[in-house]
């Protein structure tokens, strides 16, 4: 972190609508608060598996609440998440592994595209209700985010490389080490220790802990 600035890490997965909400709000606050925001693309499925967590929508009452909750938050934060009951099924049948590896490859080679690229993945899945798991979907997202054909192809080839696979595993393991059990997981480093905040509705608390 730069002099006197608090490092805030955002562990996220584009399959998670709450991650999108947290991402957009932190993107706005990075210009207001004295923070260095670091995006950490990780794998939600890996975190759920390692911690024995279950998708919240598996509990019918919770699924009902989530539909309302995400709609309210989307309206409040002005983020175009469009959620329907069918989306719970879509999340379970769509893996985000390819997308998160692609995002990781871009993070490793051209991190300046990390923010617009991640946003376009959420836009495609949560706003346009299109698939993000096939290579052609990934390339369409990359094009939308302003990546050149050449750069996208290179990143797509990197998806199957051990370096990218390992980096995604390491980032996911790091989130687990901080105590994450779902996404988004926000970690603020202040007073020499990490403070974990789960979800996109703890940002006032985050501000309070870092003195904002």
- The question of whether 160 is a catalytic residue gets the answer no
Residues with Cβ within 8 Å of residue 89, at least 6 apart in sequence: none
Place of tokens 């600035």: 5
Confirm if 190 and 8 have CB atoms less than 8 A apart. Answer: no
Residues with Cβ within 8 Å of residue 32, at least 6 apart in sequence: 212
The CA-based diameter of the chain, rounded to the nearest angstrom, is 47
- Which among 16, 118, 152, 200 is annotated as catalytic? 16
Nearest to 136 by CA among 152, 117, 114, 160: 152
- Which stretches does DSSP call E strand in the chain? 6-12, 35-41, 185-190, 193-198
The burial of 126, by beta-carbon neighbours within 10 Å (0-12 exposed, 13-18 middle, 19 or more buried), is given as: buried
Q: Which residues are catalytically annotated? A: 16
């Amino acid at each position: 972190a730069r002099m006197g600035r608090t490092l805030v890490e955002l562990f996220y997965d584009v399959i998670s609508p709450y991650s999108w909400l947290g991402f957009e709000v932190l993107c706005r606050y990075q210009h207001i608060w004295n923070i260095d925001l670091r995006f950490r693309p990780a794998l939600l499925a890996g975190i759920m598996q390692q911690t024995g967590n279950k998708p919240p929508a598996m509990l019918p009452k919770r699924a009902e609440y989530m539909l309302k909750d995400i709609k309210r938050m989307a309206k409040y934060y002005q983020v175009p998440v469009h959620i329907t009951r069918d989306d719970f099924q879509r999340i379970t049948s769509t893996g985000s592994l390819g997308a998160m590896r692609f995002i990781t490859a871009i993070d490793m080679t051209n991190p300046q595209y990390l923010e617009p690229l991640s946003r376009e993945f959420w836009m495609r899945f949560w706003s346009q209700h299109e698939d993000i798991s096939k290579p052609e979907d990934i390339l369409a997202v990359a094009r939308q985010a302003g990546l050149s054909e050449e750069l996208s192809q290179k990143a797509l080839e990197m998806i199957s490389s051990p370096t990218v696979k390992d980096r995604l595993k390491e980032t996911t393991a790091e989130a687990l080490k901080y105590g994450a059990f779902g996404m988004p997981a926000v970690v603020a480093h202040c007073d020499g220790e990490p403070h974990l905040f789960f979800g996109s509705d703890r940002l006032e608390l985050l501000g309070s802990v870092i003195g904002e």
